[in-house]
Each structure stands twice: as structure tokens, then as C-alpha cells.
A and B are shown apart, each in its own frame.
Chain A
């Protein structure tokens, strides 16, 4: 079955350390997204990418970086500059095939990041 795989499910970061969250999809979707979820705040967009080798900052990009070298993959790095990284991180993708109404996003099961 097609879907989005996020790994790891739980991740711990030490002070001053960069960590990378993996997101892989086999849905053949062009667009991919990273969200941060904190209790009571809904989903906040970190970065998104409409095509390979291109991505845009979302509302809370500071302290994060991404790459999009392959259509299937959109890894997120939480850098040491992100002072409050403890949150639930969700990756999503959607089809942007021309001529279709906006399609819904499909989500992975998330990665919970905590500070040691």
C-alpha cells in the first residue's frame, strides 16, 4: 500500500546537536510538507516543497533546514539553533497534478522529538 513513512517514531536530542527526521513517500506526490504540532496550537508549517530541488519556508522555518533531492524524500533537520524543539513533527504530501482540484494531504504517523 502507498503511504508516507516517518522515522524514527521517537527521537531524543542533546543540547547543541543537530538531528534529522526522515520522511519518505511512495504515493508519487509532487508536494511535500513539514509541520510542527504543539498542544493547543494545531499544525504550524515549517517548510514545503512543490518539486524536486525546490522548497519554501513556512511560518516557523527558523532553526530548521530541509532538502529535496528526490521526489520520494523530504528530510527535516532540526538544528541547534532551534531552542525549543520538543514537539510532534508531521510530514505530509499531496498530488499537484495539473487540472485537478486541490487534493487533500496525506500524513505520516509523526516523529516525537524530545530534549535530553
Chain B
């Protein structure tokens, strides 16, 4: 069975600082990994995905994530936080049956 753990339900950074949101997964097969962002009272929007190939994945809004198989991690980073990045972020893994498993989410607060 697949599972996803996001360390830190709340992360606070200053504007312009590095953003690091942690995600570890458990998967018995090569995983398909995703990061989503959710703004209040909205659905989830895809930031980036890893399926196969290059382990460093670039997404929208300057975010990127690195797949590290040895660490079973897929942490999300952004070099410089912007006020508009304040939202909740979800890491997800899908299995070969197109069933998705989501982490519990990390709320990012960006301080001016």
C-alpha cells in the first residue's frame, strides 16, 4: 500500500527566504509523485509531477522538487518565497490502478 507523510503541518518563512516543504512516501512499486497547491475554498492545482526520467522536476510558480529514491523523499522547494505562495500544499502518490494517496498537507505562511 502507498502512503505519504508530510512533515510539518505549518511552515512559516519570510518573504524572499527559501521554501522547503517535506514529503516522504511509502510505495512498493516505482511511484508517481505529485505536489498540489490549494488556496482557501478552492480545489487543488497541480504544481509539478514526477513519473520517470529526470529526478529534479520543475513546476509552476518557481517551485521544484527532487525525487530521491534512497530516501523515499520528494521535497518541494522554492528559492525565494513570495507573499502569493501562502497556501496549503499537498504531496500525493498514485499507484498502478490510478488511485491517489495524499499527505495531510502543509500550510505555508509567508511573512512580509
- A and B co-occur in one complex: yes
**Which A residues fall within an 8 A CB radius of B?**
4, 6, 31, 33, 35, 40-43, 45, 48, 50, 88, 90, 92, 94, 96, 101-102, 104-110, 112
What residues of chain A lie closer than 8 Å to B9, measured between beta carbons?
40
Q: Which single member of B94, B99, B104 contacts A42 (CB below 8 Å)?
A: B104
**Which B residues fall within an 8 A CB radius of A?**
9, 32, 34, 36, 41-46, 49, 51-52, 90, 92, 94, 96-100, 102-105
What residues of chain A lie closer than 8 Å to B90, measured between beta carbons?
42-43
Flag if A107 contacts B32 (CB, 8 Å): no
What residues of chain B lie closer than 8 Å to A48, measured between beta carbons?
99
Flag if B52 contacts A107 (CB, 8 Å): no
- Evaluate whether A96 and B98 lie within 8 angstroms (CB atoms) in the complex, with A104-B46, A107-B43 already known: yes
Flag if B98 contacts A112 (CB, 8 Å): no
What residues of chain B lie closer than 8 Å to A110, measured between beta carbons?
41-43
Closest 10 pairs between A and B when the two form their complex, measured CB to CB: A107-B43, A101-B51, A102-B32, A42-B104, A43-B102, A107-B44, A102-B94, A104-B46, A109-B43, A42-B102
What residues of chain A lie closer than 8 Å to B99, measured between beta carbons?
45, 48
With A and B bound together, what is the CA distance between A114 and B42 in angstroms?
Answer: 16
**How far, in Å, is B23 (CB) from chain A's closest CB?**
12
**How far, in Å, is B21 (CB) from chain A's closest CB?**
14
Flag if A105 contacts B32 (CB, 8 Å): no
**How far, in Å, is B5 (CB) from chain A's closest CB?**
11
Overall SS of chain A's interface: strand
With A and B bound together, what is the CA distance between A20 and B44 in angstroms?
Answer: 21
Q: Which single member of B32, B43, B98, B105 contacts A50 (CB below 8 Å)?
A: B98
A-B pairs with beta carbons under 8 Å apart, 9 shown:
A4-B43, A42-B102, A42-B103, A48-B99, A50-B98, A92-B43, A102-B96, A107-B36, A107-B44
With A and B bound together, what is the CA distance between A112 and B46 in angstroms?
Answer: 21
**How far, in Å, is A55 (CB) from chain B's closest CB?**
12
Q: Which single member of A4, A88, A90, A94 contacts B98 (CB below 8 Å)?
A: A94
Residue of B nearest to A88 (CB): B41
